[in-house]
Amino acid sequence: MNAKSTWVAFASGLLFGVGLIVSGMANPAKVLGFLDLAGQWDPSLTLVMGGAIAVGLLGFGWARRRTTTLFDHAPLQLPDNRRIDRRLILGSIAFGVGWGLAGICPGPAVVALVLAPGQAWPFVAAMLAGFWLYGRLARGGRG
């Protein structure tokens, strides 16, 4: 990765983080309000998700027509697995349950480390422990 790519990646991540803050996605109370369909539902995040899907569709459509990355011209590696298997379903369920219970997911949790570190650290610590545990289990308990 060259210096230009590094700066573009940094700027993209910063823009994403600011977008999470401005949209309310880094606020667990707002997210839980969005997920509470039977109670005091807050539909405002529907626009955020719709916008994210639109940008993603445009970005992947553009990337599908390329063979190399934009700045360092390395081979472009897009996901090609379209299988829906047990791991995908169980992972999706675990993600959804965790998001519904905590009102936060990994991206906004990293942003929350800056906004409310005292509240975010327990979630981030549990998330990192889960990453580590998955890595151990995926390797069959080896190193």
pLDDT digits (tens, 9 = 90+) for 83-98: 999 989 998 998 999 8
The confidence band for 14, taking pLDDT boundaries of 50, 70 and 90, is very high
Look at residue 119 in the predicted model and tell me its pLDDT: 84
Residue 143 has pLDDT above 60, yes or no: no
Burial 59-98 (b: 16+ CB within 10 A, else e): eeeeeeeeeeeeeeeeeeeeeeeeeeeeeeeeeeeeeeeb
Q: How far is CA 25 from the centre of its chain?
A: 11
- Secondary structure tally for the chain: helices H, strands E: 6, 0
Cα gap 77→67, rounded to integer Å: 8
Output the 3-class SS for 24-73.
CCCCHHHHHHHHCCCCCCCCCHHHHHHHHHHHHHHHHHHHHCCCECCCCC
Chain mean pLDDT for the chain: 88
The predicted structure's pLDDT at residue 5: 80
DSSP character for 76? P
* Lookup result for tokens 């707002």: 30
Identify the CA nearest to 13 among candidates 101, 65, 21: 21
- The reported pTM is 0.72
The pLDDT value given to residue 142? 60
